């Protein structure tokens, strides 16, 4: 995965170059804080990879790639506030350090900065990219609201869940690849194929996120263990457990998901049901299914297979992660 390191360095250098020196510090310091703890910065890398695939100018794609990264971090700040999450990437969340008001405002400022990163594109390309970017933002908000709704909604179906994670996670990866392809001058058809590749890889990535919340190495994962169970999140683990649970297990699941509590017995009991109903194996198979669907869209692009190999490697790498 050396190619990934090269892209990460390009993104890291660009982020350092565009770090905030403005005042007041109370607004901009938290923005620098979350951007500097940027994890693997996969979404801006997706923009650059797609641009490279179609022999585009990486310099031209660099600021739009930062737009995706800044937007992503805006969503994380607000997501953490809504989830009352104490940790993000093994670091205290912004609202934990600075309070909710600063979290809201610094998130808003990151969103505005994200839009400014598109301003250097020529008018026609600017319009195309902004349409995708704005639509992605709107859909992502819908996904987040559905995620919140599911906590108290009794009848959440498998299709509801897939729709929600597509909106909340899949579309941002999809848009990253599509925008990178369009900046490089790819055809609408090829850019659409990249969108669908990104969408299904994003779905698989979010399902893996749900899996790791319970079954992952929590020290590496950097989040509170089983936070989704605490929050009564109707994840794929929960939905598959409902489908395969016996009467006694069903009753126990309904009992624990009817209350929001930090009771460790809740985590222990629900995890035990997850293991007994073998949802861990079922979820891993579902992740692989979406990975395969995503990679099938690469086959629609008329380019040599060796050029597409890094995308296949990236998809497989994402789904082997532990953090």
Q: Tell me: the pLDDT tens digits for 167-196?
A: 999 999 999 999 999 999 999 999 999 999
Q: Token pair for residue 222?
A: 């950097």
DSSP-assigned states of every residue in 161-226: HHHHHIIIIIHHHHHHHHHHHHHTT--HHHHHHHHHHHHHHHHHHHHHHHHHHHHS-HHHHTS-TT
pLDDT digits (tens, 9 = 90+) for 311-323: 999 998 888 765 3
What's residue 260's pLDDT? 83
High-pLDDT (> 70) share of the chain, % = 97
Taking only the tens place, the pLDDT of each residue in 12-56 is 999 999 999 999 999 999 999 999 986 789 999 999 999 999 999
What average pLDDT does range 203-214 have in this prediction? 93
The phi, psi pair for 278, rounded to 5°, reads: 60, 35
How does pLDDT run across 78-124, given as a tens digit for each residue? 999 998 889 888 899 999 999 999 999 999 999 999 999 999 999 99
């Amino acid at each position: 995965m050396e190619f990934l390191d090269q892209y990460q360095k390009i993104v890291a250098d660009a982020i350092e170059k565009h770090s905030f020196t403005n005042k007041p510090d109370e607004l901009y310091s938290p923005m620098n804080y979350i951007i500097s703890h940027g994890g693997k910065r996969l979404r801006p890398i997706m923009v650059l990879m797609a641009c490279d695939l179609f022999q585009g100018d990486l310099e031209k794609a660099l600021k739009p790639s930062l737009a995706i990264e800044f937007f992503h971090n805006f969503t994380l700040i607000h997501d953490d506030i809504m989830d009352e999450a104490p940790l993000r990437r093994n670091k205290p969340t912004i609202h934990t350090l600075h309070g909710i008001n600063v979290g809201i405002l610094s998130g808003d400022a990151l969103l505005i900065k994200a839009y400014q990163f598109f301003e250097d594109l020529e008018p026609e390309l600017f319009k195309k990219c902004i349409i995708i970017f704005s639509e992605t933002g709107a859909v992502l908000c819908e996904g987040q609201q559905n995620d919140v709704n599911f906590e108290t909604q009794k009848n959440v179906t498998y299709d509801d869940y897939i729709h929600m994670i597509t909106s909340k996670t899949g579309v941002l990866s999809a848009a990253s690849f599509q925008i990178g392809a369009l900046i490089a001058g790819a055809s609408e058809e090829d850019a659409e194929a990249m969108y669908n590749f990104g969408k299904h890889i994003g779905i698989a990535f979010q399902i893996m996120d749900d899996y790791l919340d319970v079954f992952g190495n929590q020290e590496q994962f950097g989040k509170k263990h089983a936070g989704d169970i605490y929050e009564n999140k109707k994840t794929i683990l929960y939905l598959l457990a409902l489908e395969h649970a016996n009467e006694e297990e069903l009753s126990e699941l309904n009992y624990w998901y009817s209350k929001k509590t930090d009771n460790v017995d809740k985590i222990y009991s629900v995890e035990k049901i997850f293991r007994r109903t073998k949802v861990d194996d079922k979820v891993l198979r579902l992740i692989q299914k979406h990975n395969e669907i995503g990679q099938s869209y690469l086959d629609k692009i008329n380019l040599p297979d060796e050029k597409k190999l890094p995308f296949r490697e990236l998809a497989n790498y994402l789904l082997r992660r532990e953090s």
